[in-house]
Chains A and B, each alone.
Chain A
Amino acid sequence: MLSQTGSLSARALGGALLLAVAWSCDPAPRTPHAVPWGLDDFGDTIWPPAHATRIVSLNPTTTEILFALGAGARLVGRTEYDNWPDSARFVKNLGPGIRPNVEAVLSEKPDLVLLYGSGDNRSAARRFRQAGIVTVAFKVDRIEQFDRVTRLLGRIIGDSARGAFVADTVRRTLDSARALTRGLPRPTVVMPAWDSPLLVIGGGSFLNQLVEIAGGRNVYDSTSAPSPAVAFEDIVRRDPDFILTSPESAQRLKQRARWRALRAMRSGAILLIDTNVVVRPAVRLGEGAMSLVRLLHPEVKR
């Protein structure tokens, strides 16, 4: 029996291999007239759009950047999470940004689709390209990625100067925040992101960078993930000076007895993040860094 099942499994796996090859065949990229502009965060070639006048942005970060670039009026679709700036709410809500509704996007007849660069959006990207729409996926987790994406989007909408201007303005604000806290003692913080499972902000997140710029140190700055799962006792062991978190999260933490195990909680050393400016790695990064400077170093006068 064993030999029979063995040969059967070999045949089955052979069939499976063919199956996978068929699955992995991407349609060949459409080749319009021009030289590509590098790769997006899926590793796909960025083809310059002939015109980007009807843009669907399924990524809150790119929506925010497009408004800062003065291209908000070109947006014909966004996700349900794109809530900033206020005028973004007037753009049509096309639902989720992860596994988007392809038909809903096509019905807006866009000439450019900006996707959130998470692996589960790859098939949507393939679909849009198949339909002849220039599609670019970005995953912005870090400040340097914001810089690159802003310049690229400036180029895509045909206004590279504005892209460079926005990117440089944010960069300068970050530089001055860094200058304000240079030489000061660096308080350590923990940034709880989720309670169950217990997730904290790690070294892969822009928040880690902002804390660094604002003259603090994340006790989890050596982890590479943006939000690693950690054991509660490990936070206690690292003994941060402050708990840095959103007001809602702080309320929840205060109600959970175990957080009393932290010195910072017992001494009331909780810093509340201004979630209006510290949200995502986009246009408000500079403001966000400044608000963190005020929290971590109240002694600094602007």
Chain B
Amino acid sequence: MRTSRWLMLLAALIAVAAAAVVFGTIHLGLLASWRGLLGQGDATAVFVVRELRLPRIVLAALLGAGLGISGAALQGVLRNPLAEPYLLGVSGGAAVGAVLAVSVGLAIALVPLAAFAGAIAAVLIALFVAHATRSRGDPRVLVMAGVVVGAFANAAIMVLMANSDASTVRNAVWWMMGSAANATWSQVAWLALYVLAGGALLVAMARTVDALALGEDSAAGLGVDVERASRRVYLTASLVAAATVAAAGLVGFVGLVVPHIARRIGARGHRVLLLASALVGAVLVIAADLVARVALPPAELPLGAVTAVIGVPFFLVTLRRML
């Protein structure tokens, strides 16, 4: 990818982040936002900028980066342009965990933990099922196992929700629509740990993903232990996705659409593709969260809906050019 493209992406990231600091329900203007960022001026403005908007922006960036990089890695290792973390059971497992936590009346603060545990459980079950078929790293089997585990999770959610009271259902539905509205700095710090560590691990495995993307036989010919390597990539990518789900619920479509956009702007080879996907994802989700905040005042839109509304047209255009 050309340097000018990288610079364009960086400029876009800075621009949307700046817009997200300035715009919101409270009208601040450029100067007041800048002063708020520095901790000067009106106390409300300082709180709004530093404790409400800034953590949201950083959280949105991490969500986008994590989901984008995770999707790009999974599409490569599974050799499937439709692969994304949510397709493979992460979202379903997380949702079961979250709905279960809400419906048995666990403290709201424990819902992310339950979601995280559910996501990891679903991924491990999918891996176990794929392994039990002795398919030796055939990506189709892994996709199938993930989809089936996801379908089972959906059924479990319906059973749980059918017998829950209205506020439990509302809680669960909101959670499934995704939101960065509750971002706090400690949450941001934890997600940063998962996304940066997981992302770095995936970038370090980029050469292996390049080989795996050629197919099992070619990869094996290049000396890659196909089953072991694809399991590692799959687990790392899922872990990153699960952390994002625990932080903000289900933010749909980012993992699917972002790698395609990254390819469109010239990202070739997985090292570049993973990094570009992280950047594109961050830009997309910050922008989507801004739209979610300001589109329909004084209410807020669910982030997951906005990412899909923005992402789908992009995806359709990409799809047309691929055919």
Contact = CB atoms under 8 A, between A and B. Distances in A.
B26 interface: yes
Interface string A79-113: 00000000000000111101101111011010000
A19 B121 CA distance: 16
B60 to A, nearest CB: 16
Contacts of B48: 103, 106
A118 B167 contact: yes
B181 interface: yes
A104 B51 contact: no
B66 to A, nearest CB: 13
B52 A127 contact: yes
B113 A104 contact: no
B298 interface: yes
Contacts of A255: none
Nearest to A94: B298
B26 A119 contact: no
Select the residue from A25, A93, A103, A131 with max chain B CB neighbours within 10 A: A103
Interface in B151-202: 162-163, 165-167, 170-171, 174, 181-182, 186-187, 189-190, 194
A20 to B, nearest CB: 3
A3 interface: no
Given A5-B124, A24-B110, A93-B298, A19 B44 contact: no
Interface residues of A, number: 46
Given A5-B124, A9-B124, A23 B297 contact: no
A109 B190 contact: no
B117 interface: yes
A1 interface: yes
Classify the interface of chain A: helix, strand, loop or mixed.
Answer: helix
A123 B248 CA distance: 13
Contacts of A106: 26, 44, 47-48, 52
Contacts of B187: 22-23
A35 interface: no
A229 interface: yes
A13 B107 contact: no
Contacts of A95: 297-299
B107 A96 contact: no
B120 A16 contact: yes
Nearest to A4: B231
A19 B246 contact: yes
A175 interface: no
A1 B170 CA distance: 40
Contacts of A19: 112-113, 116, 190, 194, 243, 246
Contacts of B186: 22-23, 25
Nearest to A199: B166
Contacts of B44: 106-107, 109, 131
Interface in B99-148: 102, 107-110, 112-113, 116-117, 120-121, 124, 127-128, 131
Given A1-B231, A9-B120, A12-B239, A101 B109 contact: no
A243 B310 CA distance: 47
A198 B231 CA distance: 46
A122 B182 CA distance: 10
A1 B131 contact: yes
Given A2-B128, A23-B187, A101-B297, A131 B110 contact: no
B36 interface: no
A119 B108 contact: yes
Contacts of B239: 12
Nearest to B171: A120
A102 B113 contact: no
A119 B111 CA distance: 12
B312 interface: no
Contacts of A130: 47, 51
Given A1-B131, A5-B127, A20-B113, A122 B166 contact: no
B210 interface: no
B171 A23 contact: no
A228 B165 CA distance: 7
A300 interface: no
Interface of B: 24-26, 43-44, 47-48, 51-52, 102, 107-110, 112-113, 116-117, 120-121, 124, 127-128, 131, 162-163, 165-167, 170-171, 174, 181-182, 186-187, 189-190, 194, 227, 231, 235, 239, 242-243, 246, 293, 297-300
Interface of A: 1-2, 5, 8-9, 12-13, 15-20, 22-26, 93-96, 98-99, 101-104, 106-107, 109, 118-120, 122-123, 127, 130-132, 199, 225-229
Given A12-B116, A19-B243, A106-B26, 10 more contacts: A5-B127, A5-B128, A5-B231, A16-B116, A19-B190, A94-B298, A96-B299, A120-B170, A123-B182, A131-B47
